[in-house]
Amino acid sequence: MGSVPHLGLPIVDFCSKEVDLKAAGTPEWNSVKNQVMQALQEHGAFEALYNKASSELSHDLFCGLKEIFDLPIETKRRITCERIYNSYLKFPICESMGIEDAHLLEKSQSFTNTLWPQGNPNICETLNSFAKKITELDEMVRRMVLEGFGVQKYCDEHFESTCTSLRINKYEAPMTNEGILAFNPHTDESVVTILHQTQVRGMEVRSNVDGEWFNVKLSPNSFLVMAGDIFLACVNGRLHAPYHRVIMRGTEDRYSAVLFSVPKVGCEVRTREELIDDEHPQQYKPFDYDKYLDFICADDAPVAKSPLRVFCGV
């Protein structure tokens, strides 16, 4: 498997032209698949090297995010969505908003036209291009996992029942070298999460080996890939969903773009029967994703190591 550098996560290389959705089943695909499976089972996360999203695209993306977040707050508040996490949200040192299925041009256009009634073709194209590239990486990871567990016959059904959310974030510089907690420790309510960030560090992941927190350092061509709660339910808990948080230090703002794959409205989340046996008894009951979101976002939500297990554990 890929080497384990100082940041504590395996590195998996997706840069080969032989590793794409059309190459499923090739030796190169299977080699990467084995690395992905081992990484998500042992760590719940890995660093993906992925040059289809170029350094130039990364640069344009973060320039665009700065322009977006520099808009007046009244303008940013125009971004609203039925699923609250895609709406504009403002926290003490963090701002966030999202685009559902940003890989579809009309969705990116709707987002930028909401912020700029006259449109902003450059930022629209950048968001759309980035989302297309990262959605392909997301689909490769999910297909590899389903293949790895022998339930690849459900791939089409799985992809048809999910959508994506591209969430963009700005974390204000705290102007101190003392660590400031900007986002509480949590697991993600996603199938897969793929994060790209500026060179201003802040994302920390808790090791599944020793429980220690470590800082994630990514290059312009690398991405943090994590399994979320929903994937755990799909595969009967056979992956690890890592706890992570954001700690801010220093004098520079941090920007990030995060792609979440999530169930569509009205689609039930359930474990495939093939993954339930005497050795692996059923861990989670079937559930509605939006009811799970309501549960974890409620003011009286229980504080638990695993909210998913509290909500629908067997």
Distance CA 224, CA 204 (A): 11
Residue where the block lists tokens 């997301």: 138
Q: Per-residue confidence at 301, pLDDT binned at 50, 70, 90?
A: low
Domains of the chain: 11-15+27-312 (2.60.120.330)
Return the pLDDT at 16: 86
> Which of 42-46, 136-140, 226-230, 303-307 shows the lowest mean pLDDT across its residues?
303-307
Return the pLDDT at 300: 74
Q: In whole numbers, what is the pLDDT of the chain averaged over residues?
A: 93
Return the pLDDT at 270: 96
Residue where the block lists tokens 């930028």: 112
- Residue of 180, 181, 268 whose CA lies nearest to 230: 268
Distance CA 28, CA 11 (A): 16
pLDDT digits (tens, 9 = 90+) for 185-243: 999 999 999 999 999 989 999 999 888 999 998 888 899 999 999 999 999 999 999 99
Distance CA 169, CA 158 (A): 28
CA-CA distances (angstroms) from residue 210 to 42, 179, 206, 242, 289?
Answer: 12, 21, 8, 12, 31
Q: Per-residue confidence at 246, pLDDT binned at 50, 70, 90?
A: very high
Q: Per-residue confidence at 304, pLDDT binned at 50, 70, 90?
A: low
Return the pLDDT at 220: 85
pLDDT digits (tens, 9 = 90+) for 24-59: 889 999 999 999 999 999 999 999 999 999 999 999
pLDDT of 281 higher than 70: yes
Question: Residue 253, exposed/middle/buried by CB under 10 A (0-12, 13-18, 19+)?
Answer: middle
Polymer length of the chain: 314
- DSSP character at residue 312: H
* Nearest 10 degrees: Cα torsion 201, 202, 207, 211: 130
